[in-house]
Structure 1
Amino acid sequence: MYFLSWVKEPAAPVLSRRGGWRIKGDVWLAGAWERRLVSSLVRKYFNLDPGFENDLVVFHRVPSWSGEVDYAFGFHAHALRLGVAYYSVKEGWSLSPTGALASLLESQGAQACDVGFAGHLKGKRVELPEECAASSNMVLLRMGGYVGVARRTGGGGRFKVKDAAPRGFRKLAQGGAEDVVRANQQVLRESVREAKGFIMKAYRSIQGSGKAAVSFSGGADSTATLSLAAEALGPGKVVAVYSDTGLEFPESLRYAEQVASRLGVELVVLEPSARVVDLVGEKGLMSVDDRWCTRILKLEPLRKFYSNSGLKLYFDGARDYESFGRAKTPRLGYNPLIPGVTRALPIKKWPRLLVQAYLYSVKTPLNPLYDQGFTRIGCVACPAMHLYELHLSFSKHRGIHEELAKAAGVSMGDYLRMRWSTREPG
């Protein structure tokens, strides 16, 4: 279990084993697209640019609270919990701000309506004058020494105060990647030592000699696992195995080649035995409930590779914070579709922020797709994508998605509204 807090000079998030905000969902440093997103949402609701594009902003995954909401995350910056952003099929991106964000925005010059009451009105309904209520369905309120955010609840000037905080919150001096590494030195040192010890023990007891493999997708988790394995065993004893399903982002394969070269490890790229479009025409679109794509395009080439290579062990970057299913996966175990090879998970307990801090500490850049808004580095049409990621992918690789929709016999409108879990129209 990890907790999140901040150092303030300069501002940087800190992970620890005790004290601070308890991390329940995954937590990570927002990429460039994600920072622009929260800034644009603030501008949309409050007509003020908060300038988060260049700040350290921490996101944490929160559960979706209705069938309409496909994806939701909370965000923190400047040692403040600022709100929740969420994506729905009907409305796109929306924002639920906290009182802390209201206080920060007022300090930056955002207009707040004075309700003439010096007290904390969270949860109360208020009637606002026309000049305050006409501009938006969400407004900032000044309540003596407090400032809060209120949402319209009916016609006219009726609003409900959603949250409030003391006035005067301001931005802190901004930290960078080096400050994140410095602030997390202790947890990094302990976590890296434990992971490398686990890697060496698994190698000695299972592989014994020769090379061990790392399942490498080009995502942050597999990149960190590959780097840790190269540190623990030496680059000459590590082979990075990249499974090209035929739907990979071009950026990912280029990134994988660059990282393997930088680390000095062997890179093996496996190719699929069938075309994705042909399989979609035969089986329909892949989904979380039916990941035939993983079985046929990824695991089958991996099974053949391992059966021919003689390797007995591979390391994988799967983490508990990714999903409930992965949290149940044993740290040492087997994938039944890759028989005879042990699967080992060195960073199983790490939150993504720790993965990022480790990669910063060893000067390894992240896959550029993270700065383009993707939280998961998989295929162009991965069934595990959130709906907004599918829409981002469509904007980058429209032709591939049109081929898949045509092969499946569905319209592009239905394709882009499909629920990520079942691929049925939402």
Structure 2
Amino acid sequence: MSKPLYLGEMLLHWCRKCNVPVLGKECACGNRTESVTVTPPGDIRPAFEYDIELINAVSLQQFNAPLISDERVVVLNKAPYDDRMDEIIVDGEVLGSIRFELDSLKWVLLLRVEGARCLFQNKSLSAMKGWVTLEEGAVKFILGGANLLAPGVLDADPDIQEKDEVVVLNPSGKVVATGRARMNGKLMRERPKGVAVKIRDKEEPRDLTVLQGGQTWKEVVKANKKFMEEFIGRSHKFINNVSSSMTKPVTVSYSGGKDSLAVLQLVSECLEDFDVLFADTGIEFPETVINAQEVSRLYGKPLKSISSGNAFWESVDSFGPPSVEMRWCCKVCKLGPITQLIEGNYEEGCLTFIGQRKYESDTRAKSERVWKNPWVGNQVGAAPIQDWTAMHVWLYIFMHDLPYNPLYGKGFDRIGCWLCPSCSVADLHRLRETHPEFAEKLEKYLIGYAQSSGLSQEWVEHGMWRWKKLPPRLQEIAKAKGIPTVPKVDVNSKLKFTVTSGYRPCKQGGVSAEGSFGKPIDLEKIETSRMLEAVGRVAFMEGVASIFQGEDSAQVFASGTVTARSDTEKQVRQLIESVELSIQRALHCSGCGVCIGKCPHDVVTMKNGIALIGDKCVHCGKCIKVCPVVKFG
């Protein structure tokens, strides 16, 4: 599981008098608020109707009762996890988390004790599911930090299955703990040896305190008026200061997401003369394109847009599926076109206000608020809402009744390309319900790619295509389920390398290049030859080779993908070219020996008719371009 990420001040408080969330220590009613402890980074947001329906559907499935049974203000906090997980905050209490589990590919509700009280207080156990009662004498051990052992079980729902989420109650029916079953309910009743429930959360048994419900988000906006005015004022000052400090024409980058919508409204409150930019990647949701057009009409600004058309599908066979490490699609479908859009409309460049926030990622938290885009050389970017949480953004949108993208109300927590590898597997599964034609097109391509690479449909189902190097949790799942993750190599096929380079998407500083041979390559043969040593220091692990050349680096994946990072485009192109040529040498060496005579340090030798680079190589690279494979291959 991902570690908590501290990106800024934790701002969520709760007014128990008004029963609403407040972004500070005092509510507009004058009442002091109480701090709500949530998992960092604390990018809190409102729960929409679909979110509440999903929470209740999962709660009904697991416990036979809805968690949120009446009209209440519900806040979600996006917590670090391997896929998607949101903490659920109601009445100022964290009731639990709902997360999409990658092994079962299902949503699971992980209750805290307070959430379990909401479900089980004053309920007959005969009407509930997922419950375990324990002996009174076992309560002190649970509160002391122990798991529930089977001999301490008094009774249990016989339908509990191993790994189910369960609620543990004392003999009088008060909640003591929540956790996950380590044996089924029937076995628990037999009280054998062993752990019955692995405890996750526990508290002294007590009655639930229920605050009056019925609040709406209008009341939340009213309660936060002072704090919102403060944040809005700072953003207005930033916009006015930055725009007055330069002579470039002003633009707003609109993506169809909530953050860019808030920035557009803020800029419209400060400036009259500005343009709205929109890059249609060709793989946008139709709702996003329609929303961009609606917003343009609302603000009375012409939408300066450019479309990439079918560029993604025309390029995917060359590069393979995009991944978190290799988002070639950003360069082909977004950064290149937006460069053309700016250069075609603004001869001396432009100032662009962008909806970037520090609570989104560690990289954005470290970013400057004003920066020169090294990829679009004549564009200056500026972030007016850098210090805002998602809750600030949504309250601002609600204040002005702005036309936000309807996809937020359909369960998507981020708006981007519908097949983005950075989205969650949960969102990809949701895509099957909201846009089945898109899901079918993507899955058809991915399954075809998997079959041609010796991979399985499970590799597609579990979202493993989104990574060149799988995160630890996905590695565990692949091992447990026997899912192959390293593509098979066709030794008789010719290698054709395609490369794109440009400003690293979504990160400040540095230039990236990405390329692909379009098919799997034999990393074992490359490792044996040590040809990559001519480029830099090399480290191999399953399915990937990493090359380090001073501060620059590159990675070679068994899938045939190559990525490189450097400070300038010239350097990164040189690096990725050297890596590509060294791979060609390793895979097609004829054993001619030309490189042996050209090595100034005598570290190249011949073995079994193949050139090998020794461990004393100084990475000068002089053997690369003299190779006949490189010169004539």
What TM-score does the superposition give when structure 2 sets the normalisation length? Answer: 0.61
2:21 maps to amino acid: P
Stretch of structure 1 that moved more, 387-396 or 250-259: 387-396
Residue 275 (structure 2) aligned to one of 223, 239, 259 = 239
1:114 & 1:285 partners in 2: Cα distance?
49
Indicate the structure (1 or 2) with the bigger Cα radius of gyration.
2
Asked whether the equivalents of residues 312 and 332 of structure 2 are also in contact (C-alpha less than 8 Å), the reply is no
Residue 112 (structure 2) aligned to one of 89, 94, 98 = 98
Residue 50 (structure 2) aligned to one of 14, 21, 33 = 33
Q: Which residue number in structure 2 is paired with residue 21 of structure 1?
A: 36
Higher relative contact order (CA 8 A, sep 6+): 1
Q: Equivalent residues in 2 for 1:209-220 (5 A)? A: 211-220=249-258
Residue 182 (structure 2) aligned to one of 132, 150, 153 = 153
2:367 & 2:69 partners in 1: Cα distance?
37
Stretch of structure 1 that moved more, 158-167 or 329-338: 158-167
Q: Name the CA shift for 1:394/1:13 in 2 (closer, same or farther; >3 Å).
A: same
2:54 maps to amino acid: L
Give the C-alpha shift of residue 343 in structure 1: 0.4
Residue 220 (structure 2) aligned to one of 171, 180, 184 = 180
Q: Which residue number in structure 1 is paired with residue 136 of structure 2?
A: 117
Secondary structure in 1 matching 2:256: coil
Residue 87 (structure 1) aligned to one of 100, 110, 134 = 100
Residue 446 (structure 2) aligned to one of 391, 405, 409 = 405
Secondary structure in 2 matching 1:293: helix
2:299 maps to amino acid: L
Q: Which residue number in structure 1 is paired with residue 332 of structure 2?
A: 296
Residue 79 (structure 2) aligned to one of 62, 67, 79 = 62
1:146 & 1:174 partners in 2: Cα distance?
27
Residue by residue, what CA displacement relative to the aligned partner does 1:382-414 show, whole Å, maximum 9, x if unpaired? 121011111112441234314542674556543
Q: Name the CA shift for 1:341/1:424 in 2 (closer, same or farther; >3 Å).
A: same
Give the C-alpha shift of residue 110 in structure 1: 5.9
Q: Equivalent residues in 2 for 1:278-357 (5 A)? A: 278-310=314-346, 311-357=349-395
Q: Which residue number in structure 2 is paired with residue 8 of structure 1?
A: 16
Residue 207 (structure 1) aligned to one of 247, 255, 258 = 247
Q: Name the CA shift for 1:75/1:409 in 2 (closer, same or farther; >3 Å).
A: same
1:418 maps to amino acid: G
Q: Which residue number in structure 1 is paired with residue 460 of structure 2?
A: 415
1:323 maps to amino acid: S
Q: Name the CA shift for 1:265/1:33 in 2 (closer, same or farther; >3 Å).
A: same
Asked whether the equivalents of residues 450 and 460 of structure 2 are also in contact (C-alpha less than 8 Å), the reply is no
Residue by residue, what CA displacement relative to the aligned partner does 1:258-310 show, whole Å, maximum 9, x if unpaired? 12222223212211165211111111111121111111111111111212222
Q: Name the CA shift for 1:110/1:44 in 2 (closer, same or farther; >3 Å).
A: farther
Stretch of structure 1 that moved more, 377-386 or 140-149: 140-149
Q: Name the CA shift for 1:399/1:87 in 2 (closer, same or farther; >3 Å).
A: closer
2:395 & 2:69 partners in 1: Cα distance?
20
2:442 maps to amino acid: H
Asked whether the equivalents of residues 114 and 208 of structure 2 are also in contact (C-alpha less than 8 Å), the reply is no
Q: Name the CA shift for 1:217/1:280 in 2 (closer, same or farther; >3 Å).
A: same
1:163 lines up with 2:202 in the alignment? yes
Asked whether the equivalents of residues 321 and 465 of structure 2 are also in contact (C-alpha less than 8 Å), the reply is no
What TM-score does the superposition give when structure 1 sets the normalisation length? Answer: 0.89
1:82 maps to amino acid: L
Give the C-alpha shift of residue 212 in structure 1: 1.1
Give the C-alpha shift of residue 144 in structure 1: 6.1
Please report the RMSD computed on the Cα atoms of aligned residues, expressed in angstroms: 2.7
Q: Name the CA shift for 1:291/1:53 in 2 (closer, same or farther; >3 Å).
A: farther
Asked whether the equivalents of residues 36 and 92 of structure 2 are also in contact (C-alpha less than 8 Å), the reply is no
Secondary structure in 2 matching 1:81: strand
2:15 maps to amino acid: V
Asked whether the equivalents of residues 334 and 341 of structure 1 are also in contact (C-alpha less than 8 Å), the reply is yes
Give the C-alpha shift of residue 250 in structure 1: 0.3
Give the C-alpha shift of residue 252 in structure 1: 0.8
2:320 maps to amino acid: G
In structure 2, the gaps of 5 or more residues are 1-8, 27-33, 126-130, 190-195, 475-633
How many residues align? The count is: 417
Residue by residue, what CA displacement relative to the aligned partner does 1:351-371 show, whole Å, maximum 9, x if unpaired? 101100000011114311011
1:52 & 1:225 partners in 2: Cα distance?
36
1:399 & 1:421 partners in 2: Cα distance?
17
Residue by residue, what CA displacement relative to the aligned partner does 1:25-67 show, whole Å, maximum 9, x if unpaired? 2211122222222212221222112335853221112222xxx
2:447 & 2:110 partners in 1: Cα distance?
38
Q: Equivalent residues in 2 for 1:384-403 (5 A)? A: 384-395=422-433, 396=435, 397-402=438-443
Q: Equivalent residues in 2 for 1:344-383 (5 A)? A: 344-383=382-421
